[in-house]
Every structure is written in structure tokens, then in C-alpha cells.
Structure 1
Amino acid sequence: MVRTGWGAGCGLLSASVVLVLVSAAPVAAQPSANPLIGAPSAGDPYYPADGNGGYTVGHYRIRIDYDPASRWLAGQARLDATATQPLAGFSLDYSGPDVSAVAVNDLPAGFTRSGDHKLIVTPALPLLPGLPFSIRVDYAGVPGSDPDSGWMFSPSGGAFVAGEPHGAASWYPVNDTPTDKATFDLVASVPPQWEVAGNGIRVSDSTDDARRTVEWVSRHPSASYLNTVAIDRFEFLNQRGDDGTPLESAFAPAAAGRRDLEQRLPEVLDFLESLYGPYPFESGGGIYVDTDLPFSLETQTRPIYAPWADLHTVVHENTHQWWGDWMSLRQWSDVCLNECFASYTADYLWPERKEGEDVDAHYRAAVATHRDDDRFWQIPLQNPGAEREFSSVYYRGPLFLHALRHLLGDDTFFPAMTAFVRSHGDANASMPEFRSYLQTRTTTDLSGFLSAWLDSETRPDDRYLYPGGLGSAA
């Protein structure tokens, strides 16, 4: 994700960084009191109401019918899951329109809604651990529109979904935790003059006098917040990467002028492959909306771009296809794995290698600007704290990685980063894992350096700020 104001170079030279200093102690998730009921939380301390226990989901197939004129959304979600314990009941995350029916293994199931986003399901027959089962949920109504998370309406009357860490639950029932990644199919029906963009590959697109029906299929598992649908009067741009990967991009009516920017996507992906290895997914592209958004988002295979997005935003969001999408975080405290790398790649590596900039000078200027600014260093990267996770990772994170690069040297740093992300493809990783891994790549004791950069709430000592001669002017 890139938020307004966090764009290219923001981690380097911004003199007025706005920091969110909300203090929020982690809340431990509580297991279900009944051993036959799945836990109502996945246990993430930052979002203890998110996710659910007792099962894992392998695949989602979502069918929606959307009418832009009335904003009416009718949907049917099918989840293919596996029980991890005996289940007489379980919950899903869902904040969307009214639910009319739920079935488990094609038998009608009891259901009720609880709190802001829980759908409690009672199957007709208990579920046994280790066995697969299916869930079907029918729902319909006008979705709520949240400018920060989930279903949003476009000026044209269309709609799209973007939100981190939430978004999925606004339009389909889901186990809303990044640790339960699943493949995802979308079948969307809209009026014939409208178009639909989604994740993965568009495998069918048919129109009759009444409706257009489009199917998108994602072959790689994704974290739920990375799934999207976008409905608008899109124009499309079809390209291919150097390896033949199809790149399909969509432009909302007032975003048609961004085609020149998106035509650089093959160049961007070629650059990223030189850093992190082959592109990990079956397709790529982008969705350019014309809705006023405070962020762009790395929705899997096809990022959502706000009207203010620029080339460095495209680099940032596509870096996430490796760091954040293919390799996902375990808990939201691990968000540096997503944002530190995307920001460093867009703000340092692209300017250095594609634009000839002296990024060592940028680094020294940024440190000099914020050297005595206590607030700049206050939020740690290792565990920023709930409601602060999307802050220091954008401006302090790139500095950390540049210092680490100088400490290790390019011959160690770049192969190590590539090997780490590729060893966690289609899976999850954590910051503690990353720290342990780094130490295996060098005989230098990294404990002091990593503690100063990742754990401390103060500026690192000069020996950690300027390793490997980084403090010397060229």
C-alpha cells in the first residue's frame, strides 16, 4: 500500500512527517469456551476480532450480481474448507448485505450475525476434524461504502473493493486473516455496457441483451484483503511481460490518461525480476480508478491505483507482488516485510538503477533532516503497535534497509533478499524469522544493529546509522 504523501522519496527527504502516536496495547485473542465451537479470532494481537479458528479455507468461489443504478449487490459465496477440530459451530467474517441462507455440505444451516462483522454458523451435522466441507452463503442488499476499507462507489456509478487490512468481509463471507491464504474465483454479472476487473486471469466474458457475465480465476492462494472486484465503464490495455505473462489493465472513464504510465509496466516487472526473481503470478496489470482515494493498494496480480499514482507508485505496488502478496505476513506486526521492501525498492533502488540518482546522498540527507526529530524515530519497525503499523515502515523502513545493505555489502544483501522471499512463496513469513535468517547470511554479529533499527524507539547510534562508510560523501 502507498498512502497519499508516502510516495516516491517520502522516506528520504520529507521534513514534515505526520506520525500517528496512538498507544494501543496488544489484546490476546480468547479461544472459544466450547471445544466444539471454532474460535472467533485468528489471534492477531493488532486485530483480535479478525479471523476464525476451527477450520482452514482452500478455495473461494464468489458469484455476484451488481446493478450500478440501484447499487444492489446479490451474492453467493462458496467456501471449500477443512475442519481442524470437531465443529458444532464456527464463525466467518462478514459485514456485507443481509444474509438470506447458509448451507454446510449442502444442508441448511443455522446462522446469526454478531457484532460488526461476525457471521455465526451452526451446521445441521457436526463436522469432523481433518475432513473437507463446503459452506454456501446467499446474501443481497446495498453494501455500505467505507472510504478506508472495503466496498467503495465510483463517480460513474460503478464500484470497487480496496482495503488493508480489511476489505474482503465487506462483500463476501471470509476467514479474514492473512495466514489462511486461499485460491479465489469470481463470477460477476453486470449490465451489458459495464465491465468487470478482478484478480488473476479473465477466463470468460459473455454478453447478451440483459447482462454481461465475467469470470476471473486466481491460481495462486491470496490473503483475503488482496482480493478485489472493480465494476466500471473500463477501457482495457493488454500487454505482455518479457516472459510472456499476460498483463491486463483497466482504466475508469476519468483515468484513461494513465495508459502511458501503465505502458511502462513490462519495464517495471523486468526490473523487479532482476532483484527478486521471476514474477510469481499467472498475470499482472493494474486497475486505475477515478475515485478520490487516500491510498493505492497491491491487490494481487492487479493493483488498485488512486488518481494521484505515479511511476514510483507502480513500482511500489508491484514490488508487493513479491513482498506482501506471494509472501504474506504472519501477523500485522510483521508489516515491515511488506512496506519496508516496497518503499525501499521504489524510493531507492529504482531511482538508483533506472534514474542514476545518488541514493547514498539521499540517505545521508534524510538522516541529517530527522537526526534530532524524536518523533521520526519513535515508532519501531519490529512491532509498531496497533493502529500505528502503517507509519514508520514507509519512512524509517527504507533507511533501515539501506543501512543493512551497506553493512552486508551488495554481494550478500541482494542474493539474501531474493532467497528469503522466494523461500516463502505462496506462504507466510514474520519479522522474527527474517532477523534469524539474516544472521545466517553473515559472520558479523547483527544483534546490535537489528535491535537499534527494529526495536528501538530512538535514533540508532552513528555506528549503526553509517555502516560500511555510508556516512562518507562520495
Structure 2
Amino acid sequence: MHRRILAPCALAAASLLLAIPASAASFAPGAPGIGDPYYPYYGNGGYDVSHYDVRLQYRPATDELEGTTTILAKTTQDLSSFDLDFLLDVSEVRVNGTKAAFTASGEHELVVTPKKPLAEGTSITVVVRYGGVPSTKSAYGFSTWHRTPDGAVAADEPEAAWWWYPSNDHPLDKATYDVSVAVPDGIQVISNGTLQSTSSQLGWTRWNWRENKPQATYLTTLAVGRFDITTGTSEGGIPVVNAYSKDLGENDGAARASVERTGELVDWLSEYFGPYPFGSAGGYVPDTTTGYALETQTRVFYSPRQFARGSNTSVVVHELAHQWYGDSVSVKGWKDIWLNEGFASYAQWLWSEHEGEGTAQELADYVYDSHPADDPFWTVAPGDPGPDNQFDAAVYDRGALALQALRNEIGDDAFFAVLKGWPKKHAYGNASVADFQRYAEQVSGKPLAALFDTWLFEPVKPAAPAARTASVAKAATVAAQPKSWKKIEATHDVHQH
């Protein structure tokens, strides 16, 4: 042990420092980003949200939205100010009941300065009153608020909340939700979770939705319009709520023939991924011209274009698989997107096998053979694709191919134990690709670093297919296109802006 000797003057200085409250100089602004290298200003530092109460009034004819969002959170540092991610016009902010100063900053930041600084570990209630026309707002050159002939839809990835409620917009800060929206009588409101109640007064109907399991901000959704709403229960006991715009035209039948199978598909996926993690399931198909689908928690968003060529259960499987892989277990950072898209794509491969339209191995062989060594496809690393390639086809296809390689390496018993155990281990939390590799190694008892590096990170075509069987591993063989491929391929752009 080395004892430090302080001179008398040093002792006096130390005593003076002790007399000053430690917190006096420690209060600082929360970071304007949560620390994600892909999106430096998404999310915020300094606090953690536990619940959002979003209370809105919306006029479809003019796209006018008024709202009050109440945020329950706890500070994670001594804060002099903090940011919220938001675009609409704010009229008042209160922190723990007291008016706070606020100002807009950057592309989508709302900077809030409480009247008094907030010590680390403080429970806070933040009330934001606001209004505006969401369709007139944009950030970084785009908007995720979609007008429809009878209303609007908020659904996009990796951001969608800024246009209708203030938030800490990153998957690392998940929370529970109450969403209450008043609309003119005859208009319906669709959101996440379960419908708690509706009430009508003076020409307005208020719809109250609740999601009581942790939910990432980008997985919240809001749809306003004229819908036909169907309800039921899966054979496994999961309540199902689906909604279809009354103006889907010729896509209506195919949409219903696909989305109405949600309960069946949830039960089928449960055999692979374990118990369904939420209290309800379902989807909605609004009258929108967008081309993608999105795994909005418990209530999947589908574009009518997903069903333009007929029924498409494959896309429903993809989005429902995300309820385990992406929604219950969310990414730690956006570079971990393979944990969402690779697994949802592989669920489609399993469904193809179930339907007799091509086995997972046949699909793996086809994907491998379809891309020659000089194809840019192989330069995208699904394990860390970069923000520009976050939703590249390689993240889906090479991502699923990596899972088939893992399956062949560790065997079916260990592989399916991993598929089912992973959502249980990290339920309602966040995880990374590195976490998954460690878990797969733990379950299988095999070192897997080389396999993960080859299939997820190296920017070249691997030297051999994913453990092809001897009967098909012939140099001149080119795998035939499985019957299911076209519908699987159509899923690749489901999350593009």
C-alpha cells in the first residue's frame, strides 16, 4: 500500500472542495443522440423512459393534429437539460408540473431546460403540448407521415414517431404505451396492443389503445381512416385484431386471404420461437401507395401493394416473425439489424419448407448460386452493413444464408434450441450480433467465430455453399429456383422509404 501525504495547503484545498456540493458542477445537458454510430442524433442521452401517454385529436380532412404527450422517465445522469426527438410545433413543456424552457434544434431535436436541474436517479414526468400538420414536416429530406384519402398512417423504420409524438427515439429505450386519439365519428383509429375502449361525444369518437409490454419507438404505429375491423382468437389463445381499408379495391380479397391467417401463423411460428410474446396480434392494410410492410408491434402494417399479385402469406410470416426477432428482442444498435431481418427471412424459408415450395437448404443453395463472386451482393456485411445498406437484399438473403450455415454446422437439435431459446433469454430487451454468437456457442458447445465472420462480416463470397450435401455439391450444378422464391424476394424492399 502506498500512502499519499498531503501538505497542509493541499489539505486546506481539499477541505474547501468537500464543502462545495458535489452536484454543483456536475449538471450537464443530456446528449442529443443515444450513441448509435449509424444515426448519431437518434435517441437521446441522460434519461430512460418507462411509459408514454399519447393523447391526440386529429382531423383527417386537413391533416391537423393536436396533442399532449406525457412521458414518465428516470434520469441517468445529473441533467441541466435534455432532448426529445420531435418535429411538430410545441406550445408548452412541463417537467414535474413546472413550466420548462424549450427550443427546436437541428433536424428533429426539441431541447428542454427544466426550471431546476435534475439529479441523477430522479423520476420525472414530462408533459408536452403541441400541434401542427404532420404532412408539412420533414427531416433529412424525408417524411414518414403518409396521408391517405381518408386519413393518415405513421409507420416507418428506423424512425416514425417524430411526426406525432415526442420521444427518445431509439430501440435501446423501450417503454409501455397508452395511445388515445379522437377523430370524427365514422372514422376508425388503429394502433398497437389492445383496444381498451371507445367513446363518442359531440361528433367525435375517441379510441383508446394500450401496449403493456416494452415497445421500441419505431414499432409504434397510428392509422386513421375508414376500416373494416375483424377480431378473433388464434387456436393457441392469442387475440387477433385486423383492419382493412374500405377502399382497397381489387387488392382487398388477397389482403384478407393473407392477413386473416395471422392467428394460424402466430401459432405456427410459436413452435419454432416459443410462446408469442405479446397480448394481441394482427395487422392492418390502409389505403396507401407505399410499397413496404413493417413489423409494428402486435399490429403489423401492410401496404396494399404487398397483395397486388395475389395472396402472400410469406410476407405475413416475415412480419410476424419479427414479433420475436426485432420487437420482443430488439437491437442494441442499428448495426445489429441482421438479428431482425436475417431471422424473419429465415422464417420465410421455414414456411416455404412447410408449404412444400422449397426447403431451407434448397433456398440457401439458390441464393448462393444466384450471386457470382463479383456480385456486389457479397460486399455487404449483414453483421454490420452500414446505414446505407441497412435494408439491402444481402441483409435478408445472405442473412438467412448465414442461419442455414449455422444450422448445418451445429445440427438441427442445437439450431432449433437456439431459435427458441434466444427470444426467451432476451425477452423485452435488447441484444447484439455478438450476444447471439456467444449464445449459439453456449447452446451448441462449438466455437463459431469463424463461421460468423465468414457469413456475416467478410466482404467476399464464401468458398463453398452452406454445407451442401454431397449429392448437390457438384461444380457444375446451379440450384433451381424454388417455387417460393418470388414471394420471398418481394419482401426485400418492405422497409425502404
Aligned position for 2:309: none
Structure 2 letter corresponding to 1:465 = A
Query: Pick from 72, 84, 87: which aligns with 1:92?
Result: 84
SS in 1 for 2:155: strand
Given the alignment of the two structures, is residue 53 of structure 1 paired with residue 45 of structure 2, yes or no? yes
Does structure 2 retain, via aligned residues, the 8 Å contact 1:149–1:162? Answer: no
Structure 1 letter corresponding to 2:97 = D
What's the offset of the Cα at 1:415? 0.7
What is the 5 A alignment of 1:17-166?
35-95=27-87, 97-144=88-135, 149-156=143-150, 158-166=151-159
Deviation digits for residues 18-43 of structure 1 (CA, Å, limit 9, x no counterpart): xxxxxxxxxxxxxxx98421111100
Deviation digits for residues 62-115 of structure 1 (CA, Å, limit 9, x no counterpart): 0010001111100111000101111121111112x2111111011111000001
Distance 2:236 2:419 in 1: 22
Structure 2 letter corresponding to 1:42 = I
SS in 2 for 1:465: coil
Deviation digits for residues 339-377 of structure 1 (CA, Å, limit 9, x no counterpart): 00001111x100102335333223222212213343110
What's the offset of the Cα at 1:263? 2.0
Structure 2 letter corresponding to 1:89 = S
Aligned position for 1:381: 382
Distance 1:148 1:277 in 2: 38
What's the offset of the Cα at 1:438? 1.6
What is the 5 A alignment of 1:248-287?
248-255=241-248, 256-257=252-253, 258-287=255-284
SS in 1 for 2:80: coil
Aligned position for 2:302: 305
Distance 2:333 2:242 in 1: 30
Deviation digits for residues 113-164 of structure 1 (CA, Å, limit 9, x no counterpart): 00110000011122121121100011111113669653211123x0010110
What is the 5 A alignment of 1:194-343?
194-255=187-248, 256-257=252-253, 258-309=255-306, 310-343=312-345
Structure 1 letter corresponding to 2:224 = I
Given the alignment of the two structures, is residue 431 of structure 1 paired with residue 433 of structure 2, yes or no? yes
SS in 1 for 2:366: helix
What TM-score comes out, normalization by structure 1 length?
A: 0.89
What TM-score comes out, normalization by structure 2 length?
A: 0.85
Does structure 2 retain, via aligned residues, the 8 Å contact 1:192–1:210? Answer: yes
Does structure 2 retain, via aligned residues, the 8 Å contact 1:406–1:468? Answer: no
Q: Higher relative contact order at CA 8 Å, sep ≥6: structure 1 or structure 2? A: 1
Distance 1:344 1:298 in 2: 15
Distance 1:279 1:49 in 2: 33
Does structure 2 retain, via aligned residues, the 8 Å contact 1:320–1:338? Answer: yes
Distance 1:416 1:209 in 2: 54
SS in 2 for 1:295: coil
Does structure 2 retain, via aligned residues, the 8 Å contact 1:185–1:215? Answer: yes
What's the offset of the Cα at 1:471? 4.7
Structure 1 letter corresponding to 2:273 = Y
Cα 1:269/1:148, change in 2 over 3 Å = farther
Cα 1:264/1:115, change in 2 over 3 Å = same
SS in 2 for 1:127: coil
Distance 1:259 1:332 in 2: 32
Deviation digits for residues 285-334 of structure 1 (CA, Å, limit 9, x no counterpart): 10111211131000000000011222111100000000000000000000
Distance 1:471 1:399 in 2: 17
Cα 1:211/1:361, change in 2 over 3 Å = same
Q: Which structure has the greater CA radius of gyration?
A: 2
Query: Pick from 183, 195, 200: which aligns with 1:190?
Result: 183
Query: Structure 2 regions of 5+ residues with no counterpart?
Result: 1-24, 307-311, 480-497
Aligned position for 2:424: 422
Distance 2:172 2:469 in 1: 37
Aligned position for 1:441: 443
Identity, in percent, stands at 39
Structure 2 letter corresponding to 1:155 = P
Distance 2:340 2:208 in 1: 29
Structure 1 stretches of 4+ with a deviation exceeding 4 A read 145-149, 467-474
Structure 1 letter corresponding to 2:71 = L
Cα 1:289/1:343, change in 2 over 3 Å = same
Cα 1:468/1:232, change in 2 over 3 Å = same
Does structure 1 retain, via aligned residues, the 8 Å contact 2:238–2:281? Answer: yes
Does structure 1 retain, via aligned residues, the 8 Å contact 2:378–2:460? Answer: yes
Cα 1:239/1:197, change in 2 over 3 Å = same
Aligned position for 2:489: none
Deviation digits for residues 410-438 of structure 1 (CA, Å, limit 9, x no counterpart): 11100112111211111001001111222
Does structure 2 retain, via aligned residues, the 8 Å contact 1:323–1:342? Answer: yes
Query: Structure 1 regions of 5+ residues with no counterpart?
Result: 1-32
Structure 2 letter corresponding to 1:288 = V
Given the alignment of the two structures, is residue 357 of structure 1 paired with residue 358 of structure 2, yes or no? yes
Query: Pick from 342, 345, 348: which aligns with 2:347?
Result: 345
Cα RMSD (Å)? 1.9
The alignment covers a number of residue pairs equal to 438
Distance 1:179 1:88 in 2: 22
What's the offset of the Cα at 1:208? 2.9
